[in-house]
Amino acid sequence: MEAVKIESVSVVFGNFLALENVSISVGSGTLLAIVGPNGAGKSTLLKVMSGIIKPAAGKVFLFGDSPELYRKKNPIGYLPQQQNLNMDLPLIVSDVVYMNLAVRKDISKKEKRLMVAEALNNVGMFDLRNRIFSYLSGGERQRVMVASAMVNMPKILFLDEPNTGVDIVNQDDFYDFISHLAGKHGITIIMVTHDVGVVSSYVDEIACINKKLYMHDKVGNVDINEAMNTVYGKTDRIVTHLPNNKSCFSCPFKDFGARTSDDIKS
């Protein structure tokens, strides 16, 4: 069954048509990159898929259910596009991640604290867990936000420009990390990115959006330069990433070089 399916979705803000008749299906365990120019409706598409906003027309399904129904029964991960965070909040890093677990009644406080520690460990931020969140650098904050989106161990993860502010070495690590989550653990990941070069190296599928869906296909079938010319207009040659071996991201399922829960407890 498709993890995410939308049918003939249109979104209107006042008189402005942000998305027009978009239909797309994403299979379980797929890592899909959504690309397109500024204002193309990429963030809007993620918000529709995750049930944050309702479309003016069309249908949305997460594993066959409406987003509202699905989210009553299952967590989803959603990393919003980086916004200006309130710098005056006196929260420490662990608190920020804990907030996403706070409402869950099915797990104990002790378990929640352990899940927070593991999520921070998975993005290489465990050692900074007691820092004031607003004192972190932009890239560090973004990694904490990724931990926050992952802490519930969702089967569907929406990432809106997750690498904003993350340095180049850690970007490759990050893409390795999410490609592993999708490929080995069946997490469906839908990621908006402007990092077009990454698309061919790490993701399974790519979708080009500019109000309408221009293209959606397996990455091997896509001529990236041609696709970009279609949605962005004329572009220069696109530089592709070369993966490297260092990693500060580790898999929450413990087979990607993660420290164990015992390490975290001690």
Ligand X SMILES: Nc1ncnc2c1ncn2[C@@H]1O[C@H](COP(=O)(O)OP(=O)(O)OP(=O)(O)O)[C@@H](O)[C@H]1O
Give the binding site for ligand X (CB under 6 A).
Answer: 13, 16, 18, 36, 38-44, 81
Residue with smaller CB distance to ligand X, 56 or 169: 56
Q: Which does 163 bind (CB under 5 to 8 A by kind): ligand X, Mg ion, none?
A: none
CA distance 103 to 197: 38
Evaluate whether 125 touches 93 at the Cβ level (below 8 Å).
yes
Residue with smaller CB distance to ligand X, 36 or 124: 36
Q: Identify which range of 76-84, 194-202, 217-225, 252-260 contacts Mg ion by CB under 5 A.
A: 76-84
Residue with smaller CB distance to ligand X, 41 or 162: 41
Q: Which does 40 bind (CB under 5 to 8 A by kind): ligand X, Mg ion, none?
A: ligand X
Give min distance, CB of 118 to ligand X, in A.
Answer: 30
Residue with smaller CB distance to Mg ion, 79 or 147: 79
Give min distance, CB of 42 to ligand X, in A.
Answer: 4
83, 85, 132, 141, 164 from 137: Cα distances, Å: 14, 12, 11, 6, 12
Q: Which does 154 bind (CB under 5 to 8 A by kind): Mg ion, ligand X, none?
A: none
Contacts of residue 239, Cβ cutoff 8 Å, sequence gap at least 6: 197
Give min distance, CB of 37 to Mg ion, in A.
Answer: 10
Give min distance, CB of 81 to ligand X, in A.
Answer: 6
Residue with smaller CB distance to Mg ion, 43 or 94: 43
- Which secondary structure element, helix H or strand E, spans residue 27, and what is its range? strand 16-27
Residue with smaller CB distance to ligand X, 44 or 247: 44
Residue 45 CA to its chain's centroid (Å): 13
- Neighbour count for residue 215 (Cβ, 10 Å): 16
CA distance 13 to 33: 24
Q: Which of residues 26-45 bind Mg ion (CB under 5 A)?
A: 43
Residue 111 CA to its chain's centroid (Å): 24
Query: What is the 3-class SS of 74-105, one letter each residue?
Result: CCCEEECCCCCCCCCCCCEHHHHHHCCCCCCC
CA distance 131 to 190: 30
112, 145, 175, 183, 227 from 97: Cα distances, Å: 10, 7, 21, 25, 37
Amino acid letter for position 94: S
Residue with smaller CB distance to Mg ion, 148 or 193: 193
Q: Which does 13 bind (CB under 5 to 8 A by kind): ligand X, Mg ion, none?
A: ligand X
Q: Identify which range of 27-35, 81-89, 110-118, 213-221 contacts Mg ion by CB under 5 A.
A: 81-89
Give min distance, CB of 41 to ligand X, in A.
Answer: 4
Give min distance, CB of 40 to ligand X, in A.
Answer: 4
Query: If you search the block for the tokens 């990429």, which residue do you land on?
Result: 42
Q: Which does 38 bind (CB under 5 to 8 A by kind): ligand X, Mg ion, none?
A: ligand X
Q: Which residues bind Mg ion (CB under 5 A)?
A: 43, 81
